[in-house]
Amino acid sequence: MEDLYINEKDKNDLEIERYALALERIMEIPGESVCEEPFRSYFGQMASFTAQMDQTWKLVESGDLRKLSLEQLQEQNRALYEDILPRHYEASYANPDYAVDCLGESMGQMMTFLYAELRGMIPAAFEQNRFAMVIRMELLLEIYQAFVCAAQELAEKDADFKPEEADTDRRENPKDAVNGTVTEEMTGLPEAETIRQILYWYVSDYYEPESAERIAQLVCADRDFAYRIIMESDLSDLRYLYYFGEYITDNELETARHLNEMPEEKIRLMADTYTEGYRIGFEMGNKDISIKKTVNIRYNLGFERMIRQAVLNFDRIGLRSTIYRAGSNIFQGRSVNKNGFFGANPNKQFDYDHKEDQALVLDKLLVERKLECMKSAYEQWKKEAKEHGGPAVVEIFGEKPFVPKTKKTACKLSEKQQKLSVEYAGKAGALQNQYIKGEERSFTIIAFPVPDIGAQYAEIFDDIVHINTLDYKLYRGIQQTIIDTLDKGLTVIVKGRGANRTDLTIQLHELQDPAKQTNFENCVADVNIPVGEVFTSPVLQGTNGTLHVTRVFLNELEYKDIWLRFEDGMVADYGCANFPTEEENRKYIKDNVLYHHETLPIGEFAIGTNTTAYVVARKYGIEDKMPILIAEKTGPHFAVGDTCYSHAENVKVYNPDGKEIIAKDNEVSVLRDTDVSKAYFQCHTDITIPYDELGELSVLTGTGEEISIIRDGQFVLPGCEELNKAFGQRS
């Protein structure tokens, strides 16, 4: 133990020394004129940002951060994120367009990558992670030194240069006489490949410690940065929101104020629904929660009062809460759709612009390196991983819709890199499943609105709480009626109406013993809150047709007139109307729905039954802002990607009526027994047809009988009359 202590002390002392040396050298950059413009200005700004990060570090380390007034904290928070806010982004080096315009295409892409990575020092400063600070400071210095060396080499050559021995002076005419291009040698710049190699080895060298720490944050309860803020702060003093180091807006402040004004019983109701859904998920999935020790809470800042109660609830059932920050660097990935704890997104376009930054470094060797590091990390935390129960997620909705701008200057994965990315995702998913087994873990998701949703925020919030706590016993009975009807059939027909062009035939599994087996799960308020759907994994062979929705938001991105055509259950063609050209529209879907796969299977077919949620959305005009979690309950929906039973297909699952759900596989997922890399896609995206775009949903039985369940947006199946009451119409 003494040796371990000494080693840790030596490691800490070394990091302190590296930090001091790097900072001292960086602070010299603004006074140097070795690099010519525009790179002199760029590196001067990077040095200034690093100085700001050092000041933030010291503010947190000294405890002075918690002595600031709310107004001072707001100013400090604004200063940290000001450069990437939309009003300043056009002239920020974080913007690929600006960086490329100022610094050239190859250098511009790498310099905007560097700045985005340096911004990862913000969470590091708040979490007092000196290692994360040091490696980014040293990366800046290594790249700066490459520019210094190139400039010095040019200066030395110019000192020996004799004009009478050349046709022209290089400084007056830096054009290559052969091909007319500006060369790195002539302009005093390092070769672009030199800089790319520095970035490459930065990612390769540090992926191991970064991966180990990330997995530790997931499965180890002693990584308690956010936990301590949530559990120890005076939540009535909203200054606590600024202690996380996330960007804070009126959404987070008003959410916290709104929850502070709620009676204790309502907070308990929200937290109880959330944590009980998690517990029931294990019960319904026939999984033993008693062998689990941790649960990962993911949420948006502002909900701390509910989260604190949820932590206490989880403690009572033997689960300690892990709470890690959403990704903010090249190791964790950047995405518009956040995964962890997070504040406001200062600029979703920034995340969208940098979501494929790995294109600068991704190759086969790096994929292998990342997988090796991931395996090593899971081995390090093997016991904790086995005892981890899975995520409990609080989603938010109501923010202003985001329609991304596709930029030619942003890094893009090549076709080869897209395949490598898909390969990595598949192998990483399989690797995680070895240590956090799918057949033993569960999850839950619940959603609430934020103030951006509109002036009726308080009323909408109350209605969503009501939706999240609907009587699941009532829905369970109605949904069983629907399931009993569906189980009589071999295929389901789904057609749109009006502008909706949907025309699909869904093939169902054949039940060998209908008295004991069922195709559809009766989904109440457990893993997916609120109540309101029955779902299955369709047979791919014979599942054909077109799925179309006039407008939908998927993972915070808008899609206009999105359509997917299926042949034997696989995506055969697709398009939308977001952009002027077919090429742009197809790329948008391939990147953000297919996740770079050439095709995906239908992993789920479901019928949403939560007409109350549908009516609430129409009542407030927030249909476009409803999250998938609720939207999927407001009509039939189809998921492309993995099935709902991914990695847990062999676990026996039963409905409340005692029947076993046998439709957990399809022709792709069964390949796990022969080649797991072909069985899973690590994605599952739900696309819902709202009731008002639905013309028909009928089941065809083996005898040729057609039984209608929904017609012209209304439930017409006897026993489902209660669902139509929300529409305000008699059935």
Could you read off the pLDDT of 284-325 as tens digits, one per residue? 888 999 999 999 999 999 999 999 999 999 999 999 999 999
Whose structure tokens read 């859904």?
Answer: 277
Predicted pLDDT of residue 16: 96
d(C-alpha 224, C-alpha 226), whole Å: 6
Tell me whether residue 329 is exposed, middle or buried, using C-beta atoms within 10 angstroms of its C-beta: 0 to 12, 13 to 18, 19 or more: buried
Could you read off the pLDDT of 554-576 as tens digits, one per residue? 877 889 999 999 999 999 999 99
Nearest residue to 188 via CA among 147, 216, 223, 224 = 147
Residue 2: pLDDT band by 50, 70, 90 thresholds?
very low
Element (H, E) at 57: helix 39-62
Nearest residue to 323 via CA among 344, 308, 313 = 308
Which 3-state string (H, E, C) describes 147-168?
A: HHHHHHHHHHHHHCCCHHHCCC
Could you read off the pLDDT of 366-382 as tens digits, one per residue? 999 999 999 999 999 99
> pLDDT: is 615 or 5 the higher one?
615
> Is a pLDDT exceeding 50 seen at residue 169?
no
d(C-alpha 56, C-alpha 648), whole Å: 45
Summarize the confidence of residues 624-648 as an average pLDDT. Answer: 88
Q: Decide: 643 and 602 in contact? Cβ < 8 Å.
A: no
Predicted pLDDT of residue 164: 52
| DSSP assigned state of 387 | T
> Is a pLDDT exceeding 90 seen at residue 706?
yes
Encoded tokens for 40? 């002199």
| DSSP assigned state of 528 | B
Could you read off the pLDDT of 339-361 as tens digits, one per residue? 899 999 999 999 999 999 999 99
> pLDDT: is 83 or 627 the higher one?
83
β-partners of residue 517 are: 660
> Is a pLDDT exceeding 50 seen at residue 249?
yes
Lowest mean pLDDT among 129-133, 267-271, 530-534: 530-534
Could you read off the pLDDT of 483-524 as tens digits, one per residue? 999 999 999 999 999 999 999 999 999 999 999 999 999 987
Whose structure tokens read 């005898």?
Answer: 703
Predicted pLDDT of residue 478: 95
d(C-alpha 210, C-alpha 327), whole Å: 12
> Is a pLDDT exceeding 70 seen at residue 180?
no
d(C-alpha 664, C-alpha 411), whole Å: 38
Whether the link from the prior residue into 530 is cis, omega within 30° of 0, is yes
β-partners of residue 508 are: none
Per DSSP (E only), the strands in 65-131 are none
> pLDDT: is 274 or 728 the higher one?
274
Report domain extents, the chain. 12-162+183-190, 220-228+247-400+412-435, 470-482+509-688
- 104 Ramachandran zone, left/alpha/beta (phi>0; psi -120 to 50): left
Predicted pLDDT of residue 161: 54
Residue 177: pLDDT band by 50, 70, 90 thresholds?
very low
Q: Decide: 112 and 93 in contact? Cβ < 8 Å.
A: yes
Q: How many helices (H) and strands (E) does the chain have?
A: 24, 20
Which 3-state string (H, E, C) describes 22-33?
A: HHHHHCCHHHCC
Residue 361 burial (CB count, 10 A): 20
Per-chain mean pLDDT for the chain? 91
Predicted pLDDT of residue 609: 93
> Is a pLDDT exceeding 70 seen at residue 179?
no
Element (H, E) at 321: strand 320-322
468 φ, ψ (degrees, to nearest 5): -70, -15
Could you read off the pLDDT of 210-245 as tens digits, one per residue? 999 999 999 999 999 999 999 999 999 999 999 999
From residue 122, give the alpha-carbon distance in Å to each of 50, 136, 266: 10, 11, 35
Distance of CA 727 to the CA centre of its chain: 34
For helices 225-232 and 304-316, angle between their N-to-C axes, nearest 10 degrees: 100
Nearest residue to 52 via CA among 330, 301, 245 = 245
- How many residues belong to the chain? 731
> Is a pLDDT exceeding 90 seen at residue 171?
no
What percent of the chain lies above the pLDDT cut of 90?
77
Predicted pLDDT of residue 88: 97
d(C-alpha 18, C-alpha 137), whole Å: 9
> Is a pLDDT exceeding 60 seen at residue 632?
yes
Identity of the residue numbered 53: M
Residue 631: pLDDT band by 50, 70, 90 thresholds?
confident
Q: Decide: 293 and 329 in contact? Cβ < 8 Å.
A: no
Q: What is the C-alpha radius of gyration for the chain, rounded to an integer number of angstroms? A: 28
Residue 653: pLDDT band by 50, 70, 90 thresholds?
confident
Encoded tokens for 231? 């559990």
The CA-based diameter of the chain, rounded to the nearest angstrom, is 98
Q: Decide: 286 and 237 in contact? Cβ < 8 Å.
A: no
> Is a pLDDT exceeding 70 seen at residue 54?
yes
718 φ, ψ (degrees, to nearest 5): -55, 135
d(C-alpha 5, C-alpha 15), whole Å: 15
d(C-alpha 81, C-alpha 645), whole Å: 40
What percent of the chain lies above the pLDDT cut of 70?
95
> Is a pLDDT exceeding 80 seen at residue 170?
no
Rounded to a whole number, what is the distance in angstroms from the first to the last CA of the chain?
A: 73
Which 3-state string (H, E, C) describes 194-232?
A: HHHHHHHHHHHHHHHHHHHHHHHHHHCCCCCHHHHHHHH
Antiparallel, parallel or unpaired: β 388-397 and 444-449: parallel
Encoded tokens for 51? 């100085």
> How many Cα atoms are found within 13 Å in the side-chain-facing hemisphere of 657?
20
Identity of the residue numbered 198: I
Nearest residue to 144 via CA among 56, 16, 27, 18 = 27
